[in-house]
Amino acid sequence: MNTDAYYKRIKSLFRPEQLRLKRAIVVGAGSGGSRVATELGRLGLPLTLIDLPGEKLEEHNILRHELGYASLGKSKVEELARHIHNLNPETPITCAELDVAMDRVEFKRLIQSQQPDILIAATDNYESKHILNEDAMAFGLPVVGAGVYDGGIAGECYITRPGGACFACLVTHLQLQDLAPKRSARDIDYSNLELKELQSTAALNLDIAQIALIQSRVVLNLLLDGATDLIGVPPEVNLIVFANRRVPGHFERPLHAEFIHFDRVPDCLVCSSQCASEIDREASRIIGALNS
């Protein structure tokens, strides 16, 4: 790989070495996560890719996934790493098959070993995002998450930072679940394909990719930390809602983004100072147990 030639067209925007000492953990290697990981990985950002144990690319994934038929029946995270390495052979990538909702100790162990600068929530349900939120608060990590509303009409990209509004605060304000697909992690039987299909968000690839690119941009902006501003909105913005199309009553303008800031909810059960310190103590206890 000729690094100078490879990065030639972006060198006026930022220096690739600004990303080489950072790391992002991407939770979810589905249609959104695969796209975010690819966009960031091609720029050389070290990545840790996580998806559910045994999660393989199936034919119904391909219409909306970064991977294609060559990866059919193969591990999503392993194939995604191969795909990214085809675009940038020098990107450091670690793969893990892990259910972050079910195996929280292992997820904490992974965070501790990988030392990420940011968590990327690319799962397709609110329950796992709540769990990521709690772990991010405990480790003092920012999270950039995204979701596509049912029908692909729009999507959201949220940013949480230590000390600011957490995901639970944002959800309390917005009740965006009303527009998200209805499901419960407890109800999902990952071995039951038919049920999984029923619970999958109906959306086109172009609906999902639009939101995933916004998510990628936000992650990049945070990691570049002011060296290059790829968005140009105030840093306190913690929610971007993008309308893919006009939906009277919900979104009056198509292809339009709203930039929103929400304060912390004072009595938020996750990030209020009392609870946060309790979570910190719990994280310390678990880390202590892991090290002993």
Report in angstroms how near the CB of residue 143 gets to Zn ion at its nearest: 12
Should residue 168 be labelled a site residue for Zn ion when binding is judged by CB under 5 A?
Answer: yes
User: How does DSSP classify residue 247?
Assistant: B
Phi, psi of 200 (to 5 degrees): -75, 140
Of 40 and 170, CB closest to Zn ion? 170
User: Which residues in the chain belong to E strands, given as ranges?
Assistant: 24-27, 47-51, 93-97, 118-121, 143-148, 154-160, 239-243, 256-260
Stretch that binds Zn ion, among 71-79, 167-175, 241-249, 280-288 (CB under 5 A): 167-175
Residues 75, 77, 83, 87: what is their CA dihedral angle, to the nearest 10 degrees?
-170
**Which residues, including other chains, have CB under 8 Å from residue 96's CB and lie 6 or more apart?**
48, 49, 50, 77, 110
Rg (CA), the chain: 18
Of 25 and 170, CB closest to Zn ion? 170
| Rounded Cα–Cα distance for residues 69 and 29 (Å) | 16
Report in angstroms how near the CB of residue 160 gets to Zn ion at its nearest: 8
205 CB-contact burial (10 Å; exposed 0-12 / middle 13-18 / buried 19+) = middle
Of 32 and 145, CB closest to Zn ion? 145
Report in angstroms how near the CB of residue 213 gets to Zn ion at its nearest: 27
| Rounded Cα–Cα distance for residues 259 and 256 (Å) | 10
Query: Of residues 111, 157, 166, 203, which one binds Zn ion by CB under 5 A?
Result: 166
Should residue 159 be labelled a site residue for Zn ion when binding is judged by CB under 5 A?
Answer: no
Of 81 and 144, CB closest to Zn ion? 144
Of 153 and 239, CB closest to Zn ion? 239
Should residue 131 be labelled a site residue for Zn ion when binding is judged by CB under 5 A?
Answer: no
Report in angstroms how near the CB of residue 72 gets to Zn ion at its nearest: 41
Number of amino acids touching Zn ion (CB under 5 A): 6
What is the Cα 118 distance to its own chain's centre?
9
Of 166 and 176, CB closest to Zn ion? 166
Should residue 169 be labelled a site residue for Zn ion when binding is judged by CB under 5 A?
Answer: yes
Of 76 and 264, CB closest to Zn ion? 264
Nearest to residue 61, comparing CAs of 49, 75, 47? 75
**x/- string (CB under 5 A) for Zn ion, residues 3-42?**
----------------------------------------
Stretch that binds Zn ion, among 42-50, 113-121, 168-176, 246-254 (CB under 5 A): 168-176
Report in angstroms how near the CB of residue 48 gets to Zn ion at its nearest: 25
Of 103 and 263, CB closest to Zn ion? 263
The footprint of Zn ion on residues 255-274 (CB under 5 A) is 268, 270-271
Query: Would residue 101 be called left, alpha or beta, if left means φ above 0 and alpha means ψ between -120 and 50 degrees?
Result: alpha
Should residue 101 be labelled a site residue for Zn ion when binding is judged by CB under 5 A?
Answer: no
Letter for the amino acid at 138? Answer: A
The single residue listed with the structure tokens 């109906």 is 202
Binding site for Zn ion (CB under 5 A): 166, 168-169, 268, 270-271
